[in-house]
Structure 1
C-alpha cells in the first residue's frame, strides 16, 4: 500500500491523477492519508528497518523553523489513525534523509543530521541511530545550499554494495565528493542522470524515484534529459520502469519518494 497525503490531489490535481493512474495500471494499491500539514509524507512518517520495526523520529527540521504550521507530528496527528506499533525517538531526523540498502543492513544519512541535533556528540548520535535502525549508519556529505540536505536526492541503493548517485558535473564538484565518500565505505558508486536547476526545485532529480517490489516509478519533468534518464533506468533496473511527470510538484522541492510512504507488509 502506498500512502499519499490527501493534500496532494487538492494542490496538484492533474499530476496526482497521473500518478494514481500509473499505480493502478501496475496493480499498486494506494490510499490518501488525512491529517497531514504538508505533502511530503516521507519526512514525517515512521522509518521502517530491515526487520520491519517502525521508528518515528522527531520532525522539527531547521528549514521549517519559521513555518511550524507545516510540521506534522506523527505521534499526535497520525498514529491513532493508522494504529501501527511504533518506536519513538527524540532524535530530529527527516525520513527523506534515511536511505536503506535492500537488506536493511546499511543506511545512508547525510551529515545534516549533526546540525539538526547539536545536543548530541556526533559519535554518540551515530551509535544511537545504528541501534534504532538496526543497521550500519554511513554518513555522506550534504549540499549546504540544499534546504533539506536529504540523502534521498543524492544517493539510492541498487543493491547492498552498489549505490546510484547523481552524475558529477565536474571532477571536483559536490557530486564527486559524494561518490568519494561512498567509495570510502567500500561501495560501488554508479552515475545516474542529474540536471540541477538551482533554488529549491527538484526538477532534474531523477534519483527521487518511487520503488515497489515489481516497479520503479521514475519522475520526469518534460525536459530534454528525461529520455536519457529513462534509458539509463531501463538499463540499470531489473524491474519495469514507469515514468510519471511531476514537474509542478518537483518545482516545490521534492519528487516521488518525497510524497509517498509504504505501509508495512504485515498490514
Structure 2
C-alpha cells in the first residue's frame, strides 16, 4: 500500500472549502507553494472525506469499503453517497468493492523494514471497532476478507476506547517511516493506552508526543496532513502547539522547511476531526515514476 509520504495529490470536501474559506485558503496556499496538486470533491454531505473515499493500494488500484457509520444513523443528512462523488472525478481508478463496513480514518498504513531487506513492507493499524461494525459476519471471515482486500498485509488491531464513537486510528498513530510511529496515548485511559503500546511495540519503535499539558483535543496533533512534499500539523490555539510542531519537525528531518502548522481549533472543537480526517490523499504519479498496473499486482 502507498503510505502518506508517497502521496502527491490532496482533495477536500467542497463543503469544507465553502464553510471554512479562510482555513481552506491557508491550506491551499501552502500546498500551492510546494506545487502539490489539490482540489475539492463535489456532492459531499460532510467534511470528512477520508472516511468515505477509497483507499489507495497501488498506482490505480483502490479499495472501497462500505460507508455505513453507526454514529450517523440518526443523522442521515451527513452521510455521503460515494457514487456521485466518484463520478464527478476525472481520475481513472481500478476500485475493488469490499463487503466490509470500515471508515478510512480507521486505516493507517505504516511501514517497517526487515533486516537485510531493501524494501519496506506495509503494516495496517486499525481499532477493533471494525468487528462491531461488521458483527453480522463471523470474526474469522472478517479477517479473511481484510487479508484479501489488503493483499495479505499484516494488520495490527488496537483496543477500541468506546468513549470515541468513531473508533478511528488516525488520531492515535502517525507513520513516521522506517518502522517508527508517533503516538499520543496520554489522552486515553491508562489500561487502554498500555494495551495499545504493547501491541504497537511488537512491530514498531513507538515515539510518544510529549506535551507539557494534555488537552482533550491533543489527539489532533497526530491527525496531520502529509504528502510527499509537505506536512501540515493541526494547531489548537494552545501553548502546546509549538511543542507538538517542534517534535514533529525533529522526527521528519527530510521535510526541513516544509512542515507547517494551521490553526483549525474551531473545527476540532465543534466537529471532532482534524487535517487527516478533512483530506483525501492519493498518488497520481507514484513519486514521479512511470508505473504500470502490473506493478500493483
- Residue deviations 1:13-71 (CA, integer Å, cap 9, x gap): 22112111221222212111110011100000001125652011100011111112211
In the TM superposition, what whole-angstrom CA distance separates every residue of 1:133-191 from its partner, at most 9, and x where no partner exists? 222111111211012010110012212522211143699343333111212x3322110
**TM-score if structure 1 supplies the norm length?**
0.90
Question: In structure 2, what is the equivalent of residue 20 of structure 1?
Answer: 28
Give the SS at the match of 1:153: coil
- 3-state secondary structure, aligned to 2:277: coil
* Offset, 1:84: 2.3
Partner of 1:140: 158
1:79 aligns with 2:86: yes
Report deviation, 1:94. Answer: 0.2
Q: What are the ranges of 5 or more consecutive residues in structure 2 without an aligned counterpart?
A: 1-8, 112-119, 287-297
Superposition CA RMSD, Å: 2.2
Asked if residue 121 in structure 1 is aligned to residue 130 in structure 2, the reply is no
Distance 1:266 1:86, change over 3 A: farther
Seen in structure 2, the aligned counterparts of structure 1 residues 116 and 170 have a Cα distance that, compared at 3 Å, is closer
Q: Does 1:175 align with 2:193?
A: yes
Which residue among 138, 147, 166 is the counterpart of 2:184?
166
- Aligned residues of 1:155 and 1:166 also touching (Cα < 8 A): yes
2:273 paired with 1:254: yes
* CA–CA distance in structure 2, aligned partners of residues 196 and 120 of structure 1: 38
Higher relative contact order (CA 8 A, sep 6+): 2
**Aligned residue-pair number:** 262
Q: TM-score, normalised by structure 2?
A: 0.81
Which range moves more in the overlay, 222-231 or 18-27?
18-27
Unaligned runs of 5+ in 1: none
1:131 corresponding residue in structure 2: 148
